[in-house]
Amino acid sequence: MTEHNSDLSFGVDIGGSGVKAAVVDMKTGEFVTERLKIATPQPANPDAVAEVVKELMEEADWNGPVGITVPAVVKNQITRSAANIGGDWIGTDCQELFRKHLGNREIAVLNDADAAGLAEVAYGDEQARSGSVMLLTFGTGIGSALLMDGNLYPNSELGHLPFGHTSCEKWASSAVKEKEDLSFKEWAKRVDQVMHEYARLFSPQTFVVGGGISRKADKWVPLLTVEQKVVPAQLRNKAGIVGAAMAVRDGFRP
Ligand code: BGC
């Protein structure tokens, strides 16, 4: 598969446990290859992860532009944080890193939740397309994306907002649900508290809730009491990949 068809783009989503990728049809937001996945190398240092991205590109037989998400703040294409990924990502120039491993091509690197936000407003629920939207992804951490009429304010990092004696993500991520063996009811109560805090500070019109646990949205979304509309993410585990593919197509390089 090559870049000759300009409707196609390639997205890579780097997560704590897996690096996932696919060729995406930008007209529909659908995958045209299967979702490829390689376990995140441990330790997840930049060179080891970039090598995995190269393997995924080869597996997909892709030789065009590449969009890549990282679970970190990205400013001027430099990763500035590393909460759930190896510490040596901090200060990494991602253009330089990925060019070294993937060769000279167009590359765009952005935060994983920001990518999911871009994808959901473009291809997801109608209600997320306009107005002020806060997308939250519940996984190892809590990722956030702030959007207004489809435009992104990048690097919001609301998972790290202080909450009581801890932080929102240490209180209510889905990893915490697992670790503390919380029932959906117990966990939803925590998520609800966190979302009330976000609502108080940002007053979004709509929340979009994503991450793996949005597959079971019926078990917890109905328990939330915020006054905003709460829409389960539609693209599920595709959102990061699709958003990355969009970013490189659109020349979006935070
Ligand atoms: C990171 C964010 C990321 C989120 C979800 C947080 O710990 O700081 O950059 O978006 O996890 O992966």
pLDDT digit string (tens) for the chain, length 254 residues: 544 567 999 999 999 889 999 999 999 999 999 999 999 999 999 999 999 999 999 999 999 999 999 999 999 999 999 888 887 999 999 999 999 999 999 999 999 999 999 999 999 999 999 999 999 999 999 999 999 999 999 999 999 999 999 999 999 999 999 999 999 999 999 999 999 999 999 999 999 999 989 999 999 999 999 999 999 999 988 999 999 999 999 999 99
In the reported structure, the alpha carbon of residue 46 is separated from the centroid of ligand 1 by a whole-number distance in angstroms of: 16
Residue of 110, 112, 194 best suited for mutating to test ligand 1, as the one with most atoms within 8 Å of CB: 112
pTM for the predicted model, two decimal places: 0.96
- A 10 A CB-CB count for 16 gives 15
Paired with 70 in beta bridges are 111
Short-list 204, 203, 198, 128, CA closest to 169 = 198
Short-list 254, 253, 237, CA closest to 119 = 237
Instruction: Fill in the amino acid letter for 19.
Output: V
Decide: helix, strand or coil at residue 118.
Answer: helix
In the reported structure, the alpha carbon of residue 131 is separated from the centroid of ligand 1 by a whole-number distance in angstroms of: 24
Burial class (CB in 10 A: 0-12, 13-18, 19+), 50: buried
| Cα dihedral value 53, 109, 244, 83, nearest 10 | 80
User: Residue 151, Cα to own-chain centre: how many angstroms?
Assistant: 16
CATH of domain 8-112+238-250: 3.30.420.40
Q: Which H/E stretch holds residue 69?
A: strand 66-70
How is domain 125-233 classified at the architecture level of CATH?
A: 2-Layer Sandwich (3.30)
Peptide bond into 43 cis (omega under 30): yes
> Where are the domain boundaries for CATH 3.30.420.40 in the chain?
8-112+238-250, 125-233
Ligand 1 atom nearest residue 112's Cα: 10
In the reported structure, the alpha carbon of residue 141 is separated from the centroid of ligand 1 by a whole-number distance in angstroms of: 6
Paired with 230 in beta bridges are 207
